[in-house]
Amino acid sequence: MDNRVHNFNPGPAALPLPVLEEIQAEMLNFKGSGMSILEISHRSEAFDEVLNDAVARVKRLLKLPDNYRVLFLQGGASSQFFQVPMNLLGPDDEADYINTGTWSTKAFKEAQILGCNVREVASSEDRNFCYIPKDIQFTPGAAYVHLTSNNTIKGTQWLTFPDTGGLPLISDMSSDIMSRPMDVTPFGLIYAGAQKNLGPSGVTLVIIREDMLERVPDNLPSMLSYKSHADKNSTYNTPPCFGIYVVQMTLKWIEDTVEDGLEGMARVNERKASLIYDLMDEGDFYRPTADKDNRSLMNVTFRLPDEELEKKFVAQALENGLSGLKGHRSVGGCRASIYNAVSLEAVKSLAAFMKDFAQANG
């Protein structure tokens, strides 16, 4: 379709075009039901298939062992900031938090609001969150260690995860879930708002290990308890049906079109990111904001020589069909979000534009 732009939005973000086309094709009559997916019962067989297929694809793609459960919840990743400690942190427990930017700061604050015993064991705030902390001392016996695997706003990413000496890791993977293969076994829980790498906003993927489920107290409101959702396969109440359907199709798109699943996805993502980073490193017009070893493959954050040029860059990019390159309002500068659904071709167009822009304005 030639009236579509290359979409570098941070979230909600690009979805694969074949997924959008399939949604359109199925909209009026979902799988012969004579109704759209928006109108069918969440207790119907047709929806059950969608939900179970989505769960199965998450398990396959991430190679989840049998003791992990896959849930689709509402309330965004932001609700996980309080749901995690509410469910997993008893009154006598402590938990460790690593602060690598806006979202992990929020996660920590929400646990504090609940009066939980949480410790910030490492932070990269001293240099405006441009790196990932190393050599972290964890609290012996901590109930979990929370981190944000990809820092959407600051443009850093954990390329490998810290050795916690067996303490369960919990990660907000909203902006890099399914972008690369990973060993899930150190993780007690993984959560991700869908609107970056999985689908639309309104549905949150939660992957929880069964021993974590056993920690959930009985005195939680049902909607806030992982247990009620796990016991009912995410249909304790009406789930976000449309969102789950789009997630299912996005995962199907990975499995059907990307060779080697997440290994292949990671190769494409590395290629995309290095197109932009290499171009920036070759000159001195663009300045990547994250330390070289900790750069995100999903959110490329950078500055230009001055703010006027940054404005001009974003505006001219848009005139050239490249949308969504403005940095987060809290940090300024520019950001190219190059999630799974952003094609290599889109990134090549961006790289070509960046070269031209630097030449004309450098």
Query: With binding defined as CB under 6 A, does residue 129 bind ligand PLP?
Result: no
Query: With binding defined as CB under 6 A, does residue 11 bind ligand PLP?
Result: yes
Q: Is 175 or 234 the residue whose CB approaches ligand PLP more closely?
A: 175
Q: Kindly tell me which residue out of 12, 31, 59, 76 binds ligand PLP, with binding defined by CB under 6 A.
A: 76
Instruction: Say how many residues touch ligand PLP, by CB under 6 A.
Output: 12
Give the binding range for ligand PLP (CB under 6 A) out of 59-67, 75-83, 212-220, 340-348. 75-83
Alpha carbons 29 and 160: distance in angstroms, whole number: 44
Query: With binding defined as CB under 6 A, does residue 169 bind ligand PLP?
Result: no
Secondary structure (3-state) at 82:
helix
Q: Is 297 or 354 the residue whose CB approaches ligand PLP more closely?
A: 297
Cβ–Cβ under 8 Å, residues 242 and 200: yes
DSSP codes of every residue in 240-294? -HHHHHHHHHHHHHHHHHSTTHHHHHHHHHHHHHHHHHHHHHHSSSSEESS-GGG
Residue 151, beta-bridge partner list: 156
Query: With binding defined as CB under 6 A, does residue 250 bind ligand PLP?
Result: no
Query: With binding defined as CB under 6 A, does residue 110 bind ligand PLP?
Result: no
Amino acid at 203: V
End-to-end CA distance of the chain: 34
Alpha carbons 213 and 230: distance in angstroms, whole number: 8
Query: With binding defined as CB under 6 A, does residue 335 bind ligand PLP?
Result: no
| Catalytic residue (choose from 172, 227, 272, 326) | 172
Query: With binding defined as CB under 6 A, does residue 245 bind ligand PLP?
Result: no
E strand residue ranges, 41-117: 68-73, 95-99
Smallest separation (angstroms) from ligand PLP to the CB of 67: 25
Q: Is 77 or 98 the residue whose CB approaches ligand PLP more closely?
A: 77
Give the binding range for ligand PLP (CB under 6 A) out of 74-82, 117-125, 211-219, 244-252. 74-82
172 is a catalytic site residue: yes
Alpha carbons 248 and 236: distance in angstroms, whole number: 19
Q: Is 106 or 348 the residue whose CB approaches ligand PLP more closely?
A: 106
Give the binding range for ligand PLP (CB under 6 A) out of 1-9, 31-39, 76-84, 329-337. 76-84
Query: With binding defined as CB under 6 A, does residue 172 bind ligand PLP?
Result: yes
Smallest separation (angstroms) from ligand PLP to the CB of 71: 15
| Catalytic residue (choose from 96, 158, 196, 253) | 196
Query: With binding defined as CB under 6 A, does residue 196 bind ligand PLP?
Result: yes
Alpha carbons 270 and 273: distance in angstroms, whole number: 5
103 is a catalytic site residue: yes
Amino acid at 158: W
Listed residue (187, 191, 182) closest to 164, CA to CA: 187
Smallest separation (angstroms) from ligand PLP to the CB of 190: 12
Query: With binding defined as CB under 6 A, does residue 77 bind ligand PLP?
Result: yes
Alpha-carbon distances of 272 from 205, 276, 296, 341, rounded to whole Å: 25, 7, 11, 11
Q: What are phi and psi of 112, to 5 degrees?
A: -65, -40
Q: Kindly tell me which residue out of 85, 155, 188, 193 binds ligand PLP, with binding defined by CB under 6 A.
A: 193
Give the binding range for ligand PLP (CB under 6 A) out of 72-80, 237-245, 270-278, 344-352. 72-80
Listed residue (80, 49, 42) closest to 207, CA to CA: 80
Build a one-symbol-per-residue string for 78-97: x at contacts with ligand PLP by CB under 6 A, - elsewhere.
x-------------------
96 is a catalytic site residue: no
- Here the tokens at position 12 are 């909600």
Cβ–Cβ under 8 Å, residues 22 and 249: yes
Query: With binding defined as CB under 6 A, does residue 175 bind ligand PLP?
Result: yes
Active site residues: 103, 172, 196
Positions touching ligand PLP (CB under 6 A) are: 11, 76-78, 103, 148, 152, 172, 174-175, 193, 196
